[in-house]
Amino acid sequence: MKILVSPAKSLDYKSELPTDVHSQPAFLKEAAKLNASLKTKSPDELQKLMHISEKLATLNWERNQHFTTPFSPNNARPALFAFNGDVYSGLDAYSISENALEVAQENLRILSGLYGILKPLDLMQPYRLEMGTSFGVEGQKSLYVFWKEKLTAHLKEELAPAELVVNLASKEYAYAIDFKTLDRPVIHPVFKDFKNGKLKIISFFAKKARGLMARYLIETNAKSIDDVLGFTADGYYFSEAETADATQPVFVR
């Protein structure tokens, strides 16, 4: 099983790492190429491009200037312990067991605007480049054009015949994969909460639920759709009644 998740804007480069094991990103050369283009942009240009504050634009200008290869534990951090958003609060990587971390390294993949796709222990330097940003290199209009073919081919190479793909990434990041050409079963779990008597997708809760499911799938070393449907963390449960499409199982609470 391969589990896809989104990255996070919030980063943590201060907490003590629970492991010294690390790996290298598959698309570091492409990341360096993108950074070389980002590096030419001023803080003001970054602010306009990314629709961020002046403070964040300055921070990311500095990050772009300091980007350097090769990556090592001295200048980079494993991705799973660098991202710090809602999905990652659900995943709670710092409390994961050594065995589960090995399963995560095999099964979990983090999509990224700068790095393309990352294994949990792949080293990364701090950055900000959302997949939906109108930014490209070599005459390409967007990161989707830059990444989609590369990432789809890479994922397809990693997948065994009939291996299940569980897409827990946001629409913004999932669009970077051409799922139809994977020739593998793919499901896109949906998480809904009751609010004012109605079931709704509530962004904050849905993001955390994606992280919770990713952790569940890792800890149980899940293999099948039935394994996925067994997810019950934090009060969620699979609702056959709410599921109109088998490729989009709905979990409610």
Per-position pLDDT tens, the chain of length 253: 999 999 999 999 999 999 999 999 999 999 999 999 999 999 999 999 999 999 999 999 999 999 999 999 999 999 999 999 999 999 999 999 999 999 999 999 999 999 999 999 999 999 999 999 999 788 888 999 999 999 999 999 999 999 999 999 999 999 999 999 999 999 999 999 999 889 999 999 999 999 999 999 999 999 999 999 999 999 999 999 999 999 999 999 9
Where are the domains positioned within the chain? 2-252
Phi, psi of 39 (to 5 degrees): -65, -25
* One-letter amino acid of 240: E
Query: Exposed, middle or buried by CB within 10 Å (0-12, 13-18, 19+), for 30?
Result: middle
Q: Taking the complete model, does pTM exceed 0.85, yes or no?
A: yes
The tens digit of pLDDT for each residue in 146-165 reads 999 999 999 999 999 999 99
The tens digit of pLDDT for each residue in 105-149 reads 999 999 999 999 999 999 999 999 999 999 978 888 899 999 999
User: How many CB atoms within 10 Å of residue 102?
Assistant: 15
Beta strands in the chain (DSSP E): 2-5, 77-78, 108-112, 116-118, 123-124, 165-167, 186-187, 190-195, 198-200, 237-238, 250-252
